[in-house]
Amino acid sequence: MSIKCLIVDDEPPAREVLKRYVEETPGLELRGECANAVQALGFLQQQAIDLIFLDIRMPQLTGVDFLKSLKHTPKVIFTTAYSEYALEGYELDIVDFLMKPVRFERFLKAVNKAFPLQNAITPTLEPAPEKEKRIESFVYFRADRKMVKVLLSDILYIESMKDYVKVITDGHPIITKQSISSVETMLPEKKFIRTHRSFIVSVDKIKSFTNELIEIGKTEIPIGKLYRNTVLKVLE
């Protein structure tokens, strides 16, 4: 049993969008398109329809007036470019209210709301352009006149040397002109901690620690007096 649909909209391209959506949705069957509400009245006298996609602003007869004139109303989903109609929509008994342009996912949600039993409806349209896979977090530093990309997960620790900082990674260390405090603000607070006036360490890379020292790889990094309380709180 498929759901018999009717599209009522005065703009051909708008009908085109809905037509495509209906055709791409299994369980929906497009029975007709009307360019205005008067036509639609005639159409409804000829055959029974389950679901109307109804534009509101149309010449001659608006979607709202059309709906008020019907005795037996099928389920109705309003489609409009006017957000002001959202209110009025509820006074009439309608299923949903779609704002043009409508996303396909939003369209499906409305259809599922109209016929909850058919919740097997799944899109056959190609899904919305896929968000690329989670990129690993990174920052860029300038070193030797080049911009060097550094994955946060590669950073072991960062050491300050006067006006420069040295970023120690699994690969080559990177030396860049920046203050350690400013580098600190670039890094996620949860993943990196300042352990000393001159050191920031990556929490995940810590092998072991005492009250005074943190061991990362083969390096021992001091914990400064001022930082001790916060560092130990985070590590424990």
Nearer to other proteins, 6 or 17 (CB): 17
Q: What share of the chain is helix, strand, coil (3-state, %, to 5)?
A: 30, 30, 35
Residues lying near other proteins in the complex (CB under 8 A) = 11, 13-14, 16-17, 20, 57, 81-83, 86-87, 89-90, 96-103, 106, 126, 128-129, 135-140, 142, 147, 149, 177-178, 182, 185-186, 188-190
Q: How far is the CB of 32 from other proteins (least distance, A)?
A: 19
The one-letter code for the residue type at 176 is T
CB 187 within 8 A of CB 204: no
Dist CA 217 CA 198 (whole Å): 18
Nearer to other proteins, 41 or 92 (CB): 92
Q: How far is the CB of 216 from other proteins (least distance, A)?
A: 23
Nearer to other proteins, 210 or 230 (CB): 230
Q: Is the dihedral of CA 202, 203, 205, 206 positive or negative?
A: positive
SS3 35: coil
Q: How far is the CB of 54 from other proteins (least distance, A)?
A: 14
CB 89 within 8 A of CB 97: yes
Q: How far is the CB of 131 from other proteins (least distance, A)?
A: 9
Q: How far is the CB of 158 from other proteins (least distance, A)?
A: 15
Nearer to other proteins, 121 or 139 (CB): 139
Q: Residue 27's closest CA among 119, 127, 96, 128?
A: 119
Nearer to other proteins, 68 or 177 (CB): 177
CB 196 within 8 A of CB 208: no
Tokens of 15: 């009908």
The 8-class DSSP code of residue 125 comes to S
